[in-house]
Amino acid sequence: MIRPALVFASIAALSPGLAAQAPTPAPAAPPVILPAEQQIAGAVLALPTDLRPGATVLGYDAGGKLVSLRKGAGDMICLASDPKSAQFHSACYHSDMEPFMARGRALRESGIKGPQVDTVRFREVKEGKLAMPKNPSALYQLFGGTFDPVKGEVTGATPLYVVYIPFSTGKSTGLPEKPVGKMPWVMFPGTPKAHIMFTPGM
């Protein structure tokens, strides 16, 4: 019995150009950069409504570079959804967390990825090069769903709420260090990015 693979190999050997005739995948479409106003509208959706008007918003310019889209008078900073991502994502955090967050973005931009980002940041915090907030600091996020840039609304997104309390532990807070039902719990206990996780709908 002649194997199909051998037949293909023989044909390719006789006709070198045949294999090159396979269709080439179409290049990926460039990301769509929304106007600044629409990026801002989407970015602040993770926040409670009373905090949205005063939030500072970081988003993307025409070249896809992260830039400041709006300087707010409030305490929260919001990141617009990355146009290179297929999933909508809005993240807003207290400005006291900005040194830690900005350092993470800079490290990823330099090519450092995954857990190594925290390895560097934790070391810099220990060395006194990176300041962490002394007070609890909130972060709000929305993942997925469908964002309507014209209406400035998102449907079907999943919320996530956390409160950073650097170096906190189960012992210092009285909270479990692992998920237990819908109880709040401490993630990354004892580290600079220790935070209390809250289950949406509590």
Domain presence at residue 145: yes
- Look at residue 170 and tell me if it is in a domain: no
Place of tokens 């617009």: 80
Tell whether the model's pLDDT for residue 36 goes beyond 90: yes
Total tally of structural domains belonging to the chain: 1
> Which range (10-19, 69-78, 86-95, 102-111) has the least confidence?
10-19
Predicted structure pTM score: 0.83
Whether 9 is in a domain gets the answer no
DSSP assignment string, 158-194? EEEEEEE-TT--HHHHT--SS--TT--EEESTTSTT-
Under the banding of pLDDT at 50, 70 and 90, the label for residue 122 is very high
200 inside domain: no
Q: Is residue 196 part of a domain?
A: no
Q: Answer whether residue 48 is part of any domain.
A: yes
Task: Examine residue 6 and state whether it is found in any structural domain, yes or no.
Answer: no
Q: For residue 42, what are the domain limits? A: 31-164
177 located within any domain = no
Which tops the pLDDT comparison, 9 or 88? 88
Separation between Cα atoms, residue 98 and residue 78, nearest integer Å = 10
